[in-house]
């Protein structure tokens, strides 16, 4: 699986480290953008920031779906992130802390 497929595809599986990398990007990139953006940004800066946020949202949803695949669950489990508090705790437990299936499952072979 290529780096682009890891970030943008909804098929296949990813390991915990890939999921944590996506979470780190989701936190760091907007934080860096906020640090360098003036207090009153121009409309062009706002459009750019919204575009980056949309791309980051796509990435975290795609990587989370593949992480759910790695633990043997449907990618639709990504929707659990929408539940306040409980959803985040469940998602963190499965995606960030639990090991994936070491063998092939219906979503494919595990990444090395």
Q: Write out pLDDT tens, residues 30-40.
A: 888 777 777 77
Cβ-proximal residues to 87 (8 Å cutoff; 6+ apart), any chain:
80, 81
- Please report whether residue 108 resides in a domain: no
For 20, the domain range is 3-97
Query: What tens digit of pLDDT does each residue of 2-24 get?
Result: 889 988 999 999 999 989 988 89
Tokens (6 digits) for 25: 């990007």
- Please report whether residue 23 resides in a domain: yes
- Please report whether residue 52 resides in a domain: yes
- Please report whether residue 71 resides in a domain: yes
Higher pLDDT, 31 or 85: 85
Q: pTM for the whole thing?
A: 0.84
Mean pLDDT of 41-53: 86
- Please report whether residue 83 resides in a domain: yes
3-state secondary structure 50-63: HHHHHHHHHHHHHH
Q: How confident is the model at residue 107 (pLDDT cuts 50, 70, 90)?
A: very high
- Please report whether residue 102 resides in a domain: no
Measured CA to CA, the distance from residue 108 to residue 46 in angstroms comes to 39
Task: Count the domains in the chain.
Answer: 1
Find, among 99, 16, 17, 29, the residue nearest to 57 by Cα: 29
- Please report whether residue 112 resides in a domain: no
- Please report whether residue 38 resides in a domain: yes
Measured CA to CA, the distance from residue 72 to residue 68 in angstroms comes to 6
């Amino acid at each position: 699986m290529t780096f682009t497929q890891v970030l943008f595809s909804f098929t296949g599986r990813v390991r915990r480290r890939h999921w944590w990398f996506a979470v780190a990007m989701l936190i760091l990139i907007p934080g860096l953008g906020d640090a360098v953006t003036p207090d009153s940004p121009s409309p062009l800066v706002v459009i750019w920031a919204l575009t980056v946020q949309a791309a980051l949202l796509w990435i975290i949803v795609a990587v989370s779906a593949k992480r759910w695949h790695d633990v043997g669950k449907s990618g639709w489990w990504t929707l659990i992130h929408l539940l306040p508090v409980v959803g985040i705790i469940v998602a963190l437990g499965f995606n960030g802390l639990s090991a994936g299936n070491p063998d092939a499952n219906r979503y494919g072979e595990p990444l090395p």
